[in-house]
Amino acid sequence: MFLLIENKMIVPNMYQAVISAPEIAAAAQAGQFVIIRPTEESERIPLSLSDWDAARGTVSVVYMIVGKTTGQLAALVAGANVATVAGPLGNPMEMGHFGHVACIGGCYGIASIYPVARQLKALGNRVSIIVEARSSYLLFWQQKLKSVCDELVVITRDGSKGLTGHINSLPAIFTKLPLPVDRAIINGCNYLMMRGSEETRPLGIRTIVSLNTLMIDGTGMCGVCRCTVGGATKFACVDGPHFDGHEVNWDEVTRRRQAYLREELQPLRSSAGEFANLEQG
C-alpha cells in the first residue's frame, strides 16, 4: 500500500497525485513511468512520472480521467492508500548535450515533459518548452516549466493565450525561436505526437516521442504494449517508451490503443445511465 499525500484537480478533468513511494523516488529518472492500481480490484494503468522528491520519498503523476480506472484514482482522497505503485519502469529519456532542444507537451504531456526539460537544461542544453492546449483554462505548471527552460511558448487553439494555433504550427514556431532546433521531444496523446512528428519530418529534426500504449505488467511479459518502430516489433514498456517519432507505425499504435475503447467507456455510460434514471425517478 502507498499513501496518497495529495490528489487534486489542477484543470478540468486533469488531476495531480503525490504518492509516498520512497524507493521509486530514489531511483526515478526523467522519462520513466509507474504502473498504478488505485484499489485491489482496479486494472493497472501506466502513468508517466511528472516529478519526484527523493528527500521526501514522494512521486507525482498527472493524469486525465479517461475511463473507469483513472476515475477510481481521482476518487481517492489524501490519506487513502493506493493499492499498487510499481516502478520506476521503462527506459529513461536519452540525455546528452544536443544543443537546442524543443520540449513539446500537450494535455498530461505538459507535466511529463517537465522532468525531461529540467535534466536537459541542467546538462547545458538550450531548452525551449512549447505547450499546446485547446484553451488557456487547460494550461497548468507554467511557472514550474519556465524555471527549467530558456523560453516557454504557449499555443492555444482558441487564441485565449499565447499564439493561436495547433501542433501543426510547429514549423512556424521553430522559425521564431532564437536558434535552430536540433532535437524535438514530444509528450502527450498519441495524436499530438503523431502530428508533431509529421511536422518535424520534412525539417529533418530528430524527434523523440513517448508512446502511450496499453500496458499490463510493464516488464515485457504480456505483449500488450507491442508496437512497430522502424519495421521491427518493440515492446513500449521495456524497449521504450521513447522512440523515434518518424519511425513509429502510428496507424498500428492508434488501432491497438483503441482496442478496448468500448469496454473502457461502458462503466462511464452505465454511471451516466444510473444518473439519468435517478433524475427521472
The minimum distance between CB 98 and ligand FES, in angstroms, equals 28
The minimum distance between CB 239 and ligand FES, in angstroms, equals 9
Nearer to ligand FES, 180 or 223 (CB): 223
Return the number of other C-beta atoms located less than 10 Å from residue 44's C-beta: 18
The minimum distance between CB 32 and ligand FES, in angstroms, equals 14
Nearer to ligand FES, 159 or 223 (CB): 223
Nearer to ligand FES, 4 or 236 (CB): 236
C-alpha cell, 223: 505483449
Cα(16)–Cα(26) distance, integer angstroms: 20
The minimum distance between CB 17 and ligand FES, in angstroms, equals 21
Q: Which residue has the cell 521526501?
A: 56
The minimum distance between CB 148 and ligand FES, in angstroms, equals 30
Confirm if 95 and 50 have CB atoms less than 8 A apart. no
Confirm if 276 and 253 have CB atoms less than 8 A apart. no
Nearer to ligand FES, 174 or 235 (CB): 235
Half-sphere exposure at residue 99, Cβ-oriented, CA atoms within 13 angstroms: 9
Phi/psi of residue 156, nearest 5 degrees: -125, 145
73 three-state secondary structure: helix
User: How distant, in Å, are the alpha carbons of 3, 47, 64, 182, 264 from that of 82?
Assistant: 6, 14, 17, 40, 21
Q: Which residues of the shown chain bind ligand FES in the complex (CB under 6 A)?
A: 215-218, 220-225, 235, 237
Q: Which of 132, 187, 129, 188 is nearest to 156 (CA)?
A: 132
The minimum distance between CB 51 and ligand FES, in angstroms, equals 23
Half-sphere exposure at residue 136, Cβ-oriented, CA atoms within 13 angstroms: 6
Nearer to ligand FES, 175 or 233 (CB): 233
Q: What single DSSP character describes residue 202?
A: T
The minimum distance between CB 213 and ligand FES, in angstroms, equals 7
Nearer to ligand FES, 133 or 225 (CB): 225
Nearer to ligand FES, 150 or 217 (CB): 217
As separate numbers, helices (DSSP H) first and strands (DSSP E) second, the chain gives 9, 17
